[in-house]
Amino acid sequence: MAKQSLVKNKRKILNPVFHLQTKDEEEKVITREMIKAVRRTGSLNLSGRSLTTVPTRVFKMYELSDQDYSNHVDFNKTSDENEENWWNFKPLTYIDFSSNQLQEIPSEIEMFTTMETANLQDNCLLTLPPAIGNLKRLRKLNLSRNKIKELPDEFFNLLDLEQLSLAHNMLERIDKKISDMVMLRQLDLSYNSLIKLPSGLGFLVRLTDLNLSNNKLIQLPPDIVNMRGLKKLDVTNNDLKLLPKLGEMRRLELLFAQHNNIEALPDFEGSENVQELYFGNNYIKEVPAEFCENLHHLKILDLRDNKVEEIPKEIGMLQGLIRFDLTNNELDSLPSSLGILPHLQNLQLEGNKLKKIRSDVIKAGTLRILKHLRANMAAEEAQELNLSEGLAPITVAEFPDKYAMRNSHTLNLTMKELKSIPEDVFENAKWAEVSCVDICRNKLCDFPLGLVHTKDYLKELNLSMNMLKEVPHFIGDFSHLMYLNLGSNLLSDLPLTLSSLVYLRELVICNNSFSNIPQCVYDLKGLEILLANDNKISTIDIEGLKKLTNLAVLTLSNNSINHVPPELGLLRQLRSLEIQGNLFRQPRHTILEQGTDSILAYLRDKIPKN
């Protein structure tokens, strides 16, 4: 009796949440009805059954009895009744053994050669059987939240695996054979004890999501930059001191690198799609000017809890920046150019020793800070004008070397006060096969005619913050253009040829003089983002917007719109809609504050019922 009590107490100590079952109880989990369901669907779900072992009956589910063999098609039976016959069995493709207390997986698992998905997370697995390598059709495998210290060599024979999670285990190393698993698209190795990664990891060129967070990594293998398809990289909470040049990762969008020992921002030259960077809790001291020049689509930059002493004036080139966190750094001033970022909505500056900005301005929030910086910029420009009054200014614009353009595939002429650009600059850009041209924040009154030389390669064109009054018809010749920024000019119309830009994904025409959205815009079938805020637009053309079936972001704020048609609510593909700051009374401000989904739902409710 005392011994039984001891066993019972021991089981409670192991895990008070589970009731540990006897061998017989575990076998009874596999009922006749469950076997029928597995044979019918090809799926077996034993999640959360308090199992310590895999019931042996699992491996006998497809064994046929004498009656199964003697069965024949009975045309008098219903199709459901005939489904129980052996010739209608579906092979096992999915198993879920998650949230049990399994310490091992039997080698008999290899009999399920048709398996495509296996969920084994949240168990007590210490290792895996070599036989697992025989599941050649396995596509998704979740082994997270176990106690695995090492993987058998045969594991790396799962060459068709596309999703693999080994998070929250006890791995100290990964064999270099992982480089053979070239079909992987998602790999999660977070929350282990990895000190280094094997060379050859760069062969996983199909990876789009790589999570290495919460390990003990000192460095990343140099060939990691060969992961050209990677969109998300998470190296949070490691011991990294530096990151390799990430420019080769052309499709990288998200990088999480908080809580490391990083001392300098990596080189992003060539990485055109980066949208969010998180470098909080490191030892970064500066933001190089080159960093700002390369990240045209950056929306979030988190540098909180670092050692940053100065922000360069080139920060004004990050025209897409929405959130900028500089909390707890060592800044004593801010560049006025920060005030011209058109989309900046959240600027965090707490924990710095800013001398030139009053504390009440900082406490008033982002809009007040930006207004203060813009006022400083106006004062600085006025002072420069007074100093140069009566003098003929002598300025020589520096244009990038064609070999430098060849390396970066970028022509960057931002903030050079240019009124014109020599044609040979664009001829050199053509030779360099430049794909990105940025001429924002200059004094151009006329569209640079030499740009036509770049039409065969150009994918991104930024002409914002100039004084352009019209766009020439040859804009339609830029057949590869995907991003066009014409914001903050003097435009009131666009040429019909713009509709030829079939690959255009983002169009920015904010801060101009448009009274309506030009009709040619509605012919851009691939358009996903349209920013048309701060114009004089008076109506919303529903029929035109219906043509833009891929449109996800639409900003019409701060215009002269006096009526919002309820049919706008039918554009369910919209993920972001901004219409505040117009003349209409409905929807009310309280609805607008609730966000896009609420606005669209409100408008749909206003559509007259037939």
Give tens-digit pLDDT for 12-28: 334 444 456 666 777 77
Hey, CA dihedral for 493, 495, 496, 497, is it positive or negative?
negative
Q: How far is CA 159 from the centre of its chain?
A: 26
Alpha-carbon gap, residue 606 to 122, rounded angstroms: 48
Alpha-carbon gap, residue 536 to 530, rounded angstroms: 16
pTM of the model: 0.61
* pLDDT band, residue 145 (cuts 50/70/90): very high
* Enclosing domain of residue 113: 12-170
Q: Is residue 212 part of a domain?
A: no
Q: Is residue 381 part of a domain?
A: no
Mean local confidence (pLDDT), 360-381? 75
State the pLDDT at residue 19.
56
Kindly report which listed range (109-118, 225-234, 366-375, 544-553) carries the lowest average pLDDT score.
366-375
Q: With 60 as the cut, is the pLDDT of residue 8 above it?
A: no
Q: Token pair 């058109």 is at which residue?
A: 342
Domain boundary at 120, 145, 170, which?
170
| Residue 162: both structure tokens together | 């596309």
Q: Is residue 238 part of a domain?
A: no
Domains contained in the chain, number: 2
State the pLDDT at residue 581.
84
State the pLDDT at residue 79.
47
* Cβ–Cβ < 8 Å for 569, 600: yes
The pLDDT mean for the chain works out to: 86
Kindly report which listed range (38-47, 229-238, 388-397) carries the lowest average pLDDT score.
388-397
Alpha-carbon gap, residue 408 to 429, rounded angstroms: 11
Q: With 70 as the cut, is the pLDDT of residue 37 above it?
A: yes
* pLDDT band, residue 84 (cuts 50/70/90): low
- Looking only at the bridges linking them, the beta strands covering 276-278 and 300-302 are parallel
Q: Is residue 200 part of a domain?
A: no
State the pLDDT at residue 97.
96
Residues 570-583: pLDDT tens digits? 998 898 899 988 88
Alpha-carbon gap, residue 189 to 144, rounded angstroms: 9
Hey, CA dihedral for 595, 601, 603, 605, is it positive or negative?
negative
State the pLDDT at residue 65.
58
Q: Is residue 195 part of a domain?
A: no
Alpha-carbon gap, residue 401 to 428, rounded angstroms: 8
State the pLDDT at residue 294.
82
Mean local confidence (pLDDT), 63-87? 52
State the pLDDT at residue 595.
86
Q: Is residue 31 part of a domain?
A: yes
Residues 280-297: pLDDT tens digits? 999 999 999 989 888 888
Hey, CA dihedral for 326, 332, 336, 337, is it positive or negative?
negative
State the pLDDT at residue 10.
38
* Cβ–Cβ < 8 Å for 107, 84: no
Alpha-carbon gap, residue 470 to 553, rounded angstroms: 25
Mean local confidence (pLDDT), 372-392? 54
Residues 481-515: pLDDT tens digits? 999 999 999 999 999 999 999 999 999 999 999 99
Domain boundary at 137, 155, 170, which?
170
Domain boundary at 170, 199, 234, which?
170
Q: How far is CA 77 from the centre of its chain?
A: 53
Alpha-carbon gap, residue 443 to 381, rounded angstroms: 14
- Looking only at the bridges linking them, the beta strands covering 346-348 and 323-325 are parallel
CATH code assigned at 73:
3.80.10.10
Q: With 60 as the cut, is the pLDDT of residue 404 above it?
A: yes
Residues 440-465: pLDDT tens digits? 989 999 999 999 999 999 999 999 99
Phi, psi (deg, nearest 5) at residue 310: -155, 145
% residues pLDDT > 70 (the chain): 88
Q: Is residue 143 part of a domain?
A: yes
Q: Is residue 350 part of a domain?
A: no
